[in-house]
Structure 1
Amino acid sequence: MNIQRLALAGLATLLMPGLAAAHPHIFAEARLEIVSDDKGEIGELRNVWRFDELFSASVVLDFDKNSNATLDPDELKEVGQTVLESLSEYNYYTTIFANGKSIKVTKPDSITVDYKDNQLMMMFAVKPAEAMPLKGKLSFGVYDPTMYTAMDFPTDDDLTVVGEKIEACQHQVVRPDPDEVLAENKDTLTDAFWNDPTGTDMSKLFATRIEVTC
């Protein structure tokens, strides 16, 4: 697996120890839908990621086996399978808290990949690994713990809830101010944090999230 494939999973820093992970090299616009089911629990989280043209071009170069300057269906499928396997240890960039408790997600059935207008798009759904009733304070976000990939939600509408039961709860999008985060956590945000290529949970402090209160 070469550098482009590792970069596809936000893991290129493992091959380049001199590369600082404190700033992103891949940029993606994201959409996240939090879906409730008929039992009054979180059913699934639906993701759409659209990557920047530079990174998308590098993926085309890596996976375009027939050299036709695009990605055919079998090549798109290989991209999706690569990401499906590579992001499992990173919880698919998903961060969930239920009343302060961190919740993991299950492996998606698949990751659908498309390539249009020189940009790579990925679509998939994950489910909480344990039951999540709509009770108390719930928090949902998408971020890369290595900070190699910047996941951006262009508008608050790109973080939303779907389903009659969850729509009845209060919900708001939170966009942390980096300066405030640094000031409030100056004792814990050390040099080791900024130079640790394996990532740290502290990066979630900077991530945009949606909070749901039921």
Structure 2
Amino acid sequence: VAYALCSHVDLSQLFYTIDNQYLPGLLRAGFYDLLISIHLERAKEAKLMMNNEFIIPITDETRKIELYPDELKRHGLPGVGLSTCLKPGFNFSTPCFIAASEEHQKPSPEIPLEILKTKAISMLTEAVHYSGVHIRDPVGGKVEFQFVPVLKLIGTLLVMGVFDDDDVKQILLLIDPNVFGDHTEETEEKTEKEEVTQIEEKAVEAGEEALKETKPLMKG
């Protein structure tokens, strides 16, 4: 069925529809569901089948995994870092024709995951920065139609393991920067502001003392 649908709706049309800001909300969500069902659902199910497997393959790369790889022993964001698992890789095939044999129809129709990943992050960034209660005409007519389809796509790509560490950090920062943001810069700015205010207070106190000393001299 997926290959038959690819002959009617190709990737260029799907990429155009998911990025189109003028589609009605239900139609916009429907095209997102169509893209996930055609190209990503089988790979997502294959990853979820190995979700409860706790066998860790021992390789040279896995031996480098440490609990605190950083010397400062700071806790990082969840799910970010070097990892390994037995989950299967991606198995796609080119949807150039409709195959009659079932063996040729097992893999999902291929899709450029890097382009889709970049597009999903950019659409989430745009939705976060250019949406809110003050927006008169949100994408899809409602705020939910702007966020829910994109978050559903990102959730599917997360299950598939498409995002790398930097992508996960960027997504978490977009979801809640107060929780997942790096607070070291904020603490440094606070200390600098406190030092400046202390210097200003000392300067004011010194000026007041100087005025007190000069007042009796002026009376004499």
Compare the two structures and name the one with the higher strand fraction. Answer: 1
Larger radius of gyration: 2
TM over 0.5: no
Q: What is the TM-score normalised by the length of structure 2?
A: 0.21
Compare the two structures and name the one with the higher helix fraction. Answer: 2
Q: What is the TM-score normalised by the length of structure 1?
A: 0.22
